[in-house]
Amino acid sequence: MTDNLEMLLSEALTGLENIQDSGSLQKWESQFLGKNGRLTQMLKGIGKLPPEQRADFGKRANEIKQTLTEAYEQHTEIVRQHELGKALEEGELDVTLPGRPVQRGGLHPSTRILRQIQAIWAEMGFQVYTSRDVEDDDTNFTLLNIPPHHPARDMWDTFYTTQEGVILRTHTSPGQIHAMRDYGGNGTQPIRVILPGMCYRYEQMTARSEIQFNQVEGLAVGRHITMTDLKGTIADFARRLYGEDTKVRYRASHFPFTEPSMEVDVSCTLCGGKGCNVCKYTGWIEIMGCGMVHPVVLQNGGYDPTEWSGFAFGMGPERIAMRKHDIKDIRYFWSGDLRFLEQF
Ligand code: PHE
């Protein structure tokens, strides 16, 4: 019987040596050491032996169990290392391969021109004031000296909402009222701000007009601000945007919230004033509306118009970008067409 034990031992050890994977290892374990394994079976048969052999047999069987268990544990570690090495080899990563190219986005042309305009005004000491897109009728019109039913309201086709008096701003000018009331300290503090933002108009969409577009409003309020300050400041801005040699001219115009009101032209950026199809052969292009803040508006902002004065202006960044890049149709801006956007 002990011979059987020795045979089992050598058979088990040889078998174990050849095992390379954890599956076979598990089989080996249940075959030799498991509950129904051969060694256990042999130990169960101990009762059939003559009593004087039992002690030796049991002792030897236990030694073998110990030996096999240790061999099994050692070999388990070898197989584990082997399998790990194989897995690493198969999943090998070549870190010297070039990476997949990442698609890079770009800034929208409106964002670019807005940033450029803001940077220029920042250099000139104007802070950005962010005003709301959703306005009330009062601030968008009445407080800007455009009373209800005044024909001047026709200048701005308005998006009304189902809520009485709530509209989308048709221009950034209502921000003048908010800025004066927020920053003016009840008419005691001077102000120098620009107000960039989206405006909305209920209009037929054409190559020249969109239902949404940006404006950059400007507002300066102080004790001794004159029309000279307005003209000098805007000429300075135009030269910073378009170049030192840019000529600037002012034409009389009308806005209810400024008095007097003007339109600003610069010498054509494309032909330098000689005449081309961008300036429609006039040599000039219009860049903004402006004027001295109307006394009624100053008053609505909390200032005493006999002591305080100010100027305001409003420009359209998309129009400026269109002329700069010779973009023929304003509808490209919000169409989301990558063929257009990727050019910037
Ligand atoms: N709000 C005017 C417009 O939408 C522009 C403007 C702003 C004119 C400030 C004068 C002063 O056309």
Domain shared by 82 and 222, yes or no: no
CA distances to 49, 60, 88, 219, 311 from 1, rounded to whole Å, are 8, 11, 47, 109, 115
Tens of pLDDT, residues 276-305: 887 889 999 999 999 999 999 999 999 999
Tens of pLDDT, residues 109-155: 999 999 999 999 999 999 999 999 999 999 999 999 999 988 878 77
Nearest CA to ligand 1 atom 2: 314
**Residue 98 within a domain:** no
Nearest CA to ligand 1 atom 10: 290
List, chain by chain if needed, residues with CB within 6 Å of any ligand 1 atom: 171, 173, 217, 255, 258, 289-291, 312-314
Domain shared by 71 and 198, yes or no: no
CA 255 to centroid of ligand 1, rounded, Å:
7
**Residue 101 within a domain:** no
Tens of pLDDT, residues 258-273: 999 999 999 988 788 8
**Residue 128 within a domain:** yes
Note down the domain range covering 253: 110-341
Atom of ligand 1 nearest to the CA of 261: 10
Residue 104: what pLDDT? Answer: 84
CA distances to 9, 73, 109, 169 from 22, rounded to whole Å, are 21, 12, 62, 73
Domain shared by 152 and 289, yes or no: yes
Q: How far apart are CA 268 and CA 284, in angstroms?
A: 5
Domain shared by 327 and 279, yes or no: yes
Domain shared by 34 and 63, yes or no: yes
Tens of pLDDT, residues 195-253: 999 999 999 999 989 999 999 999 999 999 999 999 999 999 999 999 999 999 999 99
Domain shared by 68 and 125, yes or no: no
Residue 85: what pLDDT? Answer: 86
Task: Give residue for tokens 């999943």.
Answer: 91
Domain shared by 288 and 179, yes or no: yes
Atom of ligand 1 nearest to the CA of 172: 1
Nearest CA to ligand 1 atom 9: 313
CATH number at residue 314: 3.30.930.10
Residue 1 has pLDDT above 70, yes or no: no
Domain shared by 207 and 71, yes or no: no
- What's the number of domains the chain is made of? 2
Domain shared by 59 and 169, yes or no: no
Q: How far apart are CA 84 and CA 86, in angstroms?
A: 5
